[in-house]
Chain A
Amino acid sequence: MNLTIILAVTVVLAVVSFFITRLNKKAGGFLTVIASLFAFVGLFLLKGSIGGEFSIFYFSFKITMVGWYFALIMVLAYSMTSFFNPFWMDKMMYPGSYNFMYLLSMAGTIGMFFAKDFITLFIFWETVVWSSTFIIQLGKSRKASYVYYVVSAIGSMATLFAIMMAYSVSGTFVISEAFAGLSGGAAIAVFFTFILSGLAKIGIFPFHVWLPAAHGNAPHTFSPVLSGGLVKMGAFIAFLSVTAFPAYEIFSGMFKVMGTPFPIYFLMALGAISIIVGTLMAIKQEDAKKLLAYSSVANGGYILIGILMLDQVGFAGGMMHLVNHAVASAAAFLAIAAVAYRTGTTKMSEMGGMIHRMPVTYIVYLVAIISMAGIPPMGGFVSKWLIFQGLADKGMLFLAAAAFFGSIGSFMYVFRPLSAVFLGQTFTRDLKKKEVGFFMMLPMLILTALSILAGVFPNTILRVITEIQASVGISPVTLAENTIVTVNGYLDAFRVFIVFGFGFTIAFVIFIVRRKSKKVELMDTYTSAEFIHTRELLHYSSKFYAPFERLYDKAPDTMKLYKKIAVKIGELGNLTESLFYGHKPEKTVFWVMITGIFVVIIGGVV
């Protein structure tokens, strides 16, 4: 398969879907499914041509292993989510442009991962940013779209600055050569500005504000893409900023923390802060999608820490966590979208007991959160295990503390939607609701299967990662047949799965041989001799962790920082307006005179 064909077909189909949607909304939605599946299959077949270089127009591309890996994850999120598109067309204000932007942004991400030079990368990157901005505005909040754009813009402008600065030294935009010859203060400036767009996209503190806003309010069919896919673009920049930009070499003379140069450690520390902030904030959300958004912040922290380690074990963990989080988070968002499709809400206090109406969706969500929380036998466990092992090897105590906090805290927040949305009492309103149709169920089941497969046979993914590790010149993680070996221990995920199955079977047998239990109604519970007949009242869902939340309810809101900056810029604008652009000509005359005198003085001095 040829990348030119993939890009051309997706872009053309994007335009076609725009017009088809005008004729028939559903057909346009289905076209996105076809286009994204085509791209996925095409990318999958592209593996054979890794190493190839070519150009389309003035864009130059290079098929790399890491690009292939990222693109595949990205398009997986896009293609799976696209199955939902046809069913949401009626709810969209601009279905045509939604489909167009959906496919355009997908093409953008593909092009970005295969870019050979930074300008190509930047063009595709920004195309993704603006097209997704226009999708998010169709959701529940206009402000969300604005916040998303601004935070993205902070990142991309900084990165553009870094690219240009590097260019002024090396004279080239080619990714592999652009950072040559940098040193000293310029190197530090380029490093920090370059990675900024990555941090902004992953949602690293203090740029995480856009995730809850955008993930939480985007159309339900786009949140899975945002969290499962677009966030990973940032990870790619993070990857480039330790590989294409040889950060470990350039900063090797600097002050080191546990063997890691300080600038890199600083970013890892930001990752750790994101884990803590994401976890704490996720715990207190009342909206399922916002909760998952904050969980993406926390998981982004793991990914960043893993990738920045650039070593044998932790790096592999970070790279693998990309897949696991993409799959799990897309599945979780899709499950919530499926529930919202039936109930029309994502607020946890407005739902309950959906398991009795939508059992398949429940299973999908359950597997997703098990993976997200890093519990075996799902994929998320393996990648978190690798990150922990990597951190333990280097003795990075504080990062590890944050990682543990996030890991255990994730039990708390992932359980919340499970309990509030799916378990407990079914609301009277929802008693007649049905499971979603097969077409919507299909992508969720595929993602669920992938989560489990990644946990049982992690080496399939890790083998690709070893090739990436080899391509950037670090020693690859050691893999035996089913086993992952690290300095501190080894993991045989398949055997863990088998033993788990063994235990489960024993428990199941004991359960079956005992007398069959009597099925009772959900309302038939112990209520301390109270008579409660309202289902809604017998459901514990809002302020789930109230005693814990109370401990940090006075924590400052990062959004306030941005608002403050906005106010300051506004004040500068206000000042400009009142000083220079009034309706009084004498003001201008005054300034002309002042400037004149100033110039004369300067002239006298010079």
Chain B
Amino acid sequence: MTATTPEIVAESAVAAKPQTPFRRFVSDFFESRVATAGLVVFALVLFVALFAPLISPQNPYDLTKLDILDGRLTPGAKSMDGMTFLLGTDDQGRDMLSAIFYGLRTSLGVGVTASFCAMMIGMAMGLTAAYFGGMVDTFIMRIVDMQLSFPSILIALILLAVLGQGVDKIVIALIAVQWAYYARTTRGTALVERRKEYIEAAQCLALSNKRVVFRHLLPNCLPPIIVVNTVLIANAIALEATLSFLGLGLPITEPSLGLLIANGFTYLLSGKYWISFFPGVALLVTIVSINLVGDQLRDVLNPRLQK
């Protein structure tokens, strides 16, 4: 964070410590209050998702803890044995707050895993295309272009219609949807970096292809990939929620936020809004916070905007 006390400000101005790129990056990032808020909220969401079993008031999937008589209680109502349901309960008598914590865990887990795998595959493809060029490049980029001409939901729909339900299936579908974005970004950046002198120098030293690509080219391509990664994690979470809502995504045994919302849909028409409403808010908060962080990262990592 920025220094506030006058001594420290004066000291840093006089001493003019050589700023490491990382430190500049951090201070640039926290310049925007909105982005800082986004990061704090996202950290909170991450915390909740990681420690859901520890902080949830109830284990929502332990059937012995549930009481069907507690079903569809309004937010703030008390259960038979005195527990307060801050966000109400669903039709099974499950505490919505706990269900949302567990749902966040699933949603984030699926989104992050899928995006990460897609990034690995996409980066490998993009680097290969950019470094070797020629036929390899044409072949890979034709596939990427072909895939990107279809909307993501359509591709996911085709794949899930083919593969069926399950956590692994939805992760595969999300990877298949997203790798092309990473491949295109990586190739674009790598093509620019490849022409720079340090790559030429590395090649003149007769370093192996592997070493040039992984130790020289790749690290310099990372900033735009990181930006794309944040945006695509948010997209993966939203897409997974949509597919689960359509009944094509995760099975009932591992409810994500999308499935919780779908579950409440039936009761929405009778005015029981909380079963769908609160998971949706959790989803929205997650997506918006990731997007805010991504926006700021894009500005900070963009060399054209650097002061």
Are A and B a genuine interacting pair, yes or no?
Answer: no
Name B's A-contacting residues (CB within 8 A).
Answer: none
